[in-house]
Amino acid sequence: MDKKLEDTMMGSENSAGKYSPVVFSDEFPATSFGSYPGVFDMPCDDHKAAASCSSNSFDLLGSGIDFYNPLSSLFDLVSTTAPLLSSPASTVPESSEVVNAPPTPNSSSVSSYSNDAAAIEEVDKSNTEKPSSSNVLKPKKKNQKKQREPRFAFMTKSDIDHLDDGYRWRKYGQKAVKNSPYPRSYYRCTTVGCGVKKRVERLSNDQSTVVTTYEGQHTHQSPIIPRGSIRVLPESNLDVTSTTGLLFQPNTPQSFMYSPPPPFLTINSLSTNPRPPSSFPPPPPPPPPPPPSSQAFMLRDHGLLQDLVPLQMRKEPKDEQNG
């Protein structure tokens, strides 16, 4: 376990906050949090997402990521980190090319790809390369297993299991989790055509901590319109429309930022956290690489993140600080 990661993830004393998100990405076995809150025992060794757990990722986390959540005060935010981006494609070297990510050691494949298409494409390749002899079986699960969407998870101190993130979810399953007295719930976005899923579970040894894992990317806008007006960021900061919500700047691979998604939007302050304006239409063609920027908060395709995290959450604080 990389100490830097520990510091990044846990160093902020989760015990201090009610809602202290610890963000990471890709699926992770809940059992891997056994040592929480002392140590984040990320299963980097053998986990399929090992690539994302590489030291490079940690470098990323510690490379000046200055995520600032305007809600931090509301939720007593004490710990935020960039996600350990990963994906099924993260283990595929080409993935970095797919997303225009410089194959620099420091950038690594942390942001393995910028869109689901790339991920699926990679997955497709693997499927083609490894034709299952049992592909005659029920197709319903055959492909699902492979075509995994990018995942993002975060931990939240909350009594509520299913935190309202503005989307409508339908619970489609619940499973007992090994080494955990708390079951894991499976939710699926109820919007037609939107295959976003999320899993919710509690840490085995910290029932106050909810681990939510999002998988996929919403293809629609949140059905819940936040109260208050939607503020649009200065274009000088981010061209929201051109990226269709993707805080994606190929030129700033190490500029990662991740903010705690949904829970923070609803628990206390939808009114203060409008959703990202018109950021949902699927992002077909990759936007032209914006000019190099020193902006601290850039984000590759984070799947739901781009949908869930209001841009202002990343920008406003900076602006406020500046002003």
Partner DNA sequence: CGGGTTTGACCAGCGC
Partner DNA sequence: GCGCTGGTCAAACCCG
* 185 is a site residue for DNA (CB under 7 A): yes
Shortest Å, Cβ 178 to DNA:
4
Applying the rule CB under 7 A, the residues between 248 and 307 that interact with DNA are none
Q: According to CB under 7 A, which one of 15, 76, 160, 171 is a site residue for DNA?
A: 171
Which of 4, 48 has the CB closer to DNA? 48
Closest Cα partner for 110 from 141, 81, 140, 89? Answer: 89
Amino acid at position 253, single letter: P
The edge-to-edge listing of strands for the beta sheet with 169-176 is: 22-25, 151-157, 206-215, 197-203, 183-189, 169-176
Residues from 44 through 63 that contact DNA (CB under 7 A): 46, 48
According to DSSP, the residues that pair with 188 across neighbouring strands are 170, 197
Residues in 121-160 that interact with DNA by CB under 7 A: 132, 134, 137-138, 140-142, 144-146
Angle between helix axes 55-62 and 3-10 (nearest 10 degrees) is 40
The residues, ordered by sequence, that sit 6+ positions from 313 with a Cβ below 8 Å of its Cβ are: 69, 70, 71, 259, 273
Rounded CA-CA distance 128/280 in Å is 31
Is residue 227 near DNA by the rule CB under 7 A? no
Peptide bond into 37 cis (omega under 30): yes
Q: Pick one of 2, 26, 27, 307: the residue that binds DNA (CB under 7 A).
A: 27
- By CB under 7 A, is residue 221 in contact with DNA? no
Judged by beta carbon, residue 139 or residue 234, the one nearer DNA is: 139
> Euclidean distance between the first and final Cα of the chain, in Å?
39
User: With CB under 7 A as the contact rule, which of the stretches 26-34, 50-58, 66-74, 254-262 interacts with DNA?
Assistant: 26-34
Q: Does position 31 bind DNA by CB under 7 A? A: yes
Q: Which is nearer to DNA, 141 or 284 (CB)?
A: 141
Q: State yes or no: residue 79 binds DNA (CB under 7 A).
A: no
Reported in sequence order, the residue ranges of the chain that DSSP labels E, i.e. its strands, are: 22-25, 151-157, 169-176, 183-189, 197-203, 206-215
Q: What share of the chain is helix, strand, coil (3-state, %, to 5)?
A: 25, 15, 60
Closest to DNA by CB, 145 or 227: 145
Q: Which is nearer to DNA, 223 or 282 (CB)?
A: 223
What is the smallest separation between the CB atom of 128 and DNA, expressed in angstroms? Answer: 14
Question: Is the CB of residue 50 less than 8 Å from the CB of residue 32?
Answer: no
Nearest distance from C-beta of residue 223 to DNA, angstroms:
9
Is 30 one of the binding residues for DNA (CB under 7 A)?
yes
In sequence order, what E strands does 48-196 have?
151-157, 169-176, 183-189
Closer to DNA at the Cβ: 168 or 220? Answer: 168
Contact indicator for 285, 99 with CB cutoff of 8 Å: no
- Shortest CB 46 distance to DNA, Å: 6
Task: Give residues in contact with DNA (CB under 7 A).
Answer: 27, 29-31, 46, 48, 132, 134, 137-138, 140-142, 144-146, 162, 168-178, 184-188, 190, 197, 199
